């Protein structure tokens, strides 16, 4: 019976989504259902992580169909850890969005789609982390992608529909390629169960193995936004409402990274593709961060750092050692938290000032000191300033890379370090301009015109990039938005304070993942 718990992180949000639709008229009931469901998911994820760490991987065969025929879901340390982190982040974003009132976005739609869609998104993410079946992984991706299509176009403004088009079409292409890859894998191996694939793949001729591996890698690389297949991300994420962008940035690309880790370690353990992965990691880090340096809008800047830091996670996988993987897993957990936090803070900045453009912002350090702290700490964390978790993750990755020898690892270290410095530059520039530099003339002019001609806020209204703020006259931070953000800042700091046990856990997770046998035996039963 206890094994059925593994299904709860998926089925509870789906049930909740159904309820939310039925309760469509009552916003309060929707909120209540959503919060309860996601809080339960956090609890279940915590329980699963505890079990996975103390007892071993938790697996369930859905509907009692034996693994291989039916679908299995597995929560091993890797899955459960990522599940827990993403559940916590999702809950915080939900609370934030309640404060912001995204759910009752703009005009009152008769059917509030935000809550059910958000819950389905969470179910999709959970499913992708837990699935032990390639096709079901595809389904997990579809669930989260379709929800994200809806969320990214929320409000239906022209900019969002345009950005959404890029996002949706690219994602659809990746889904088609994923299907092609699944078909090929099934054609060659006759199964889509991860554990069986792990056993059968070595029988496949090596060149064909490479074809399958590269095909899957390409698909996941699109999802994870690995260069040169990353350009869609910065063009589509920034226009969405802040909580949506935050949860996308935190979770969606990481699901791609998780899929890379899972398939690379479980199905293609000695693949010989590590050099290729390392090149991808190097290019992603470098091109991404150069993109960030060139931006003058906080949200776009953050989108580029997101791409860039996917390279770090990839680097650990490319190194392939236990330490490398430890670093990657830790970095994923860190990056989910910090990137989400920063996007939420960007949302707060937008809420307060009506824009996230660095050309128009200014003087926030004096005007909004709490906001300044909430930006500075995660920003430094992102830039890998010690002792924050971003530094610890990078430390593990560089150590792991330094244990290899040769030109490519040396280059990777150099690029990783350069990326770290450039990230610092990018966020420090943002800090200098948005928080330190006095607000540009325009605001002074505005007051001037106000007093002279008596008409209210001429330019400012037009500059607002989001309609949410239109209704808001009071520019102080609402507690209901600030507290969830602060909560995430604290979670980020907790990753640092608890880094000792957390690293021990990620190390065990990496060891278990590389060992493969716990996973395979849990799914198929040890007798095979």
Partner 1 sequence: MLPLLTLHFLAAAVAPVLVRYLHRGTFPVLALVPAGGFVWLLVHGRPDGTDLEHHSWIGTLGLDVSLALDPLRWTLSLLVTGIGALVLVYCTSYFRAGDPGLWRFSAVFVAFAGAMLGLVLSDNLLLLYVFWELTTVLSYLLVGHNPERSANRRAAMTALLVTTFGGLAMLVGFILLGEHAGTYSAAALVADPPASGPLVTVAIMLVLVGAVSKSALVPFHFWLPGAMAAPTPVSAYLHAAAMVKAGIFLVALLAPAYADTPGWRAVLVSLGLLTMMVGGLRALRQYDAKLLLAYGTVSQLGFLMTLVGLGTRSAALAGLALVLGHALFKATLFMVVGVVDRSTGTRDIRQLSGLHRRMPVLMVVAVIGAASMAGVPPLLGFLSKEAAFAAAEDLGHDLGWTVAGPLTLAGLTLGSILTVAYAARFVWGVFGPAPGVDPCSIKRPSYWLVAAPAVLAVASVVLGLLGGPLTELLAPHADVFPAGAHEPELTLWHGVTVPLMLSVLVLVLGVALFVARHPVAAVQHAVVDRVPMPDAERGYQLVLRGVDRLAIELTGRTQRGSLPFYLGSILVVVAAVPGTALLLAWEPTDVRVADSPAQVVVAVVMAIAAVMTVRSRRRLRAVLLAGITGYGTALLFDLHGAPDLALTQVLVETFVLVTFVLVLRRLPQHFSTRPFTLSRWVRVAIGVMSGVLVAGLAYVASGARVADPISDGFAKPAKEYGGGSNIVNVTLVDIRAWDTLGELSVLVVAATGIASLIFLITDRATLPTTRKPGHDSAWLRNPSLPPERRSIVFEVVTRLIFHAVIVFSVYLALVGHELPGGGFAGGLVAGLALMLRYLAGGRRELDAAAPIDAGVVLGVGLALAAASGLLPTLLGGGVLQSAIVDVHIPVLGTLHLVTSVFFDLGVYLVVVGLALDVLRSLGGGIDKDIETDHDDAQDDEREEVRP
Of 36, 183, 444, 459, the residue at the interface with partner 1 (CB under 8 A) is 183
Single out the segment in contact with partner 1 by CB under 8 A; choices: 84-92, 177-185, 462-470, 517-525.
177-185
Of 56, 235, 367, 516, the residue at the interface with partner 1 (CB under 8 A) is 235
Query: 3-class DSSP state for residue 65?
Result: coil
Distance CA 283, CA 45 (A): 34
Distance CA 302, CA 382 (A): 10
The interface with partner 1 within residues 368-407 (CB under 8 A) comprises: 369, 380, 385-387, 391-392, 395-396, 398-399, 402-403
Question: Is-contact 362 434, C-beta < 8 A?
Answer: yes
User: Would you count residue 247 as binding partner 1 (CB under 8 A)?
Assistant: no
User: Would you count residue 366 as binding partner 1 (CB under 8 A)?
Assistant: yes
Quickly tell me which residue has 């906001």 as its tokens: 371
Rounded to 10°, the helix 134-152/114-130 angle is 150
Quickly tell me which residue has 């938005």 as its tokens: 481
| Joined tokens for residue 219 | 């698909």
Minimum Å distance from CB 521 to partner 1? 19
The interface with partner 1 within residues 439-468 (CB under 8 A) comprises: none
User: Would you count residue 528 as binding partner 1 (CB under 8 A)?
Assistant: no
Kindly write out the interface string for residues 497-516 of this chain, putting x where it contacts partner 1 by CB under 8 A and - elsewhere. --xx--xx-xx---------
Q: Which residues contact 65 (CB under 8 A, 6 or more apart)?
A: 71
User: Would you count residue 483 as binding partner 1 (CB under 8 A)?
Assistant: no
Count the Cβ atoms, other than its own, within 10 Å of residue 18. 14
User: Would you count residue 123 as binding partner 1 (CB under 8 A)?
Assistant: yes
DSSP, res 190: S
Kindly write out the interface string for residues 194-223 of this chain, putting x where it contacts partner 1 by CB under 8 A and - elsewhere. --x---x--xxx-xx-xxx-xx-xx---x-
Minimum Å distance from CB 107 to partner 1? 7
Distance CA 87, CA 251 (A): 10
Omega before residue 369 within 30° of 0, cis: no
User: Would you count residue 22 as binding partner 1 (CB under 8 A)?
Assistant: yes
User: Would you count residue 185 as binding partner 1 (CB under 8 A)?
Assistant: yes
User: Would you count residue 155 as binding partner 1 (CB under 8 A)?
Assistant: yes
Of 417, 483, 487, 494, the residue at the interface with partner 1 (CB under 8 A) is 417
- Burial profile 184-199: b = 16 or more Cβ within 10 angstroms, e = fewer: ebeebbebbbbbbbbb
User: Would you count residue 260 as binding partner 1 (CB under 8 A)?
Assistant: no
Minimum Å distance from CB 146 to partner 1? 5
- Shortest CA distance to 182 belongs to which of 205, 154, 212, 149? 212
Distance CA 58, CA 36 (A): 24
User: Would you count residue 26 as binding partner 1 (CB under 8 A)?
Assistant: no
Kindly write out the interface string for residues 72-91 of this chain, putting x where it contacts partner 1 by CB under 8 A and - elsewhere. -x------------------
Distance CA 348, CA 96 (A): 10
Minimum Å distance from CB 495 to partner 1? 12
Of 96, 129, 178, 232, the residue at the interface with partner 1 (CB under 8 A) is 232
Q: Which residues contact 25 (CB under 8 A, 6 or more apart)?
A: none
Of 159, 228, 467, 479, the residue at the interface with partner 1 (CB under 8 A) is 228
């Amino acid at each position: 019976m206890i094994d059925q718990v593994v299904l709860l992180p998926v089925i509870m949000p789906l049930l909740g989504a159904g309820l939310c639709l039925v309760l469509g008229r009552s916003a309060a009931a929707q909120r209540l259902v959503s919060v309860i469901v996601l809080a339960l998911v956090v609890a279940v994820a915590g329980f699963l992580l505890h079990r996975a760490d103390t007892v071993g991987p938790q697996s369930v065969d859905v509907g009692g169909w034996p693994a291989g025929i039916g679908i299995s879901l597995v929560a091993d340390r890797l899955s459960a850890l990522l599940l827990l982190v993403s559940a916590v982040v999702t809950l915080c974003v939900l609370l934030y969005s309640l404060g912001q009132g995204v759910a009752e976005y703009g005009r009152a739609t008769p059917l509030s789609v935000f809550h059910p869609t958000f819950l389905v998104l969470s179910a999709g993410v959970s499913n992708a982390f837990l699935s032990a079946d390639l096709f079901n992984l595809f389904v997990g991706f579809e669930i989260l992608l379709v929800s994200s299509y809806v969320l990214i176009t929320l409000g239906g403004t022209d900019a969002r529909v345009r950005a959404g088009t890029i996002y949706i079409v690219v994602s659809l292409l990746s889904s088609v390629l994923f299907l092609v890859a699944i078909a090929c894998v099934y054609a060659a191996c006759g199964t889509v169960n991860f554990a069986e694939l792990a056993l059968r793949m070595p029988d496949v001729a090596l060149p064909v193995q490479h074809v399958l591996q590269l095909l899957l890698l390409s698909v996941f690389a699109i999802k994870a936004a690995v260069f040169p297949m990353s350009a869609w991300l910065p063009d589509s994420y920034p226009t969405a409402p802040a909580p949506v962008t935050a949860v996308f940035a935190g979770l969606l690309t990481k699901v791609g990274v998780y899929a890379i880790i899972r398939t690379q370690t479980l199905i293609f353990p000695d693949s010989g593709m590590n050099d290729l992965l390392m090149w991808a990691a190097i290019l992603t880090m470098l091109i991404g961060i150069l993109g960030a340096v060139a931006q003058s809008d906080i949200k776009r800047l953050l989108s580029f750092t997101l791409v860039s830091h996917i390279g770090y996670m990839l680097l650990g996988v490319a190194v392939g050692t236990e330490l490398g993987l430890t670093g990657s897993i830790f970095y994923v957990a860190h990056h989910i938290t910090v990137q989400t936090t920063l996007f939420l803070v960007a949302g707060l900045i937008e809420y307060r000032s009506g824009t996230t453009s660095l050309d128009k912002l200014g003087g926030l350090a004096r005007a909004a000191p709490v906001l300044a702290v909430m930006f500075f700490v995660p920003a430094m964390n992102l830039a890998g300033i010690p002792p924050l978790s971003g530094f610890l993750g990078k430390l593990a990755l560089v150590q792991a890379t330094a244990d290899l020898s040769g030109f490519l690892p040396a280059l990777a270290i150099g690029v990783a370090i350069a990326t770290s410095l450039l990230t610092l530059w990018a966020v420090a520039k943002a800090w200098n301009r948005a928080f330190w530099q006095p607000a540009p003339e325009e605001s002074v002019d505005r007051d001037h015109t106000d007093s002279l001609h008596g008409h209210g806020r001429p330019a400012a209204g037009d500059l607002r990039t989001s309609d949410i703020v239109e209704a808001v006259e009071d520019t102080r931070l609402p507690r209901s938005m600030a507290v969830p953000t602060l909560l995430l800042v604290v979670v980020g700091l907790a990753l640092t304070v608890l880094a000792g046990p957390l690293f021990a856990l990620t190390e065990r997770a990496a060891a278990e993942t590389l060992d493969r046998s716990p996973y395979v035996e849990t799914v198929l039963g040890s007798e095979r």
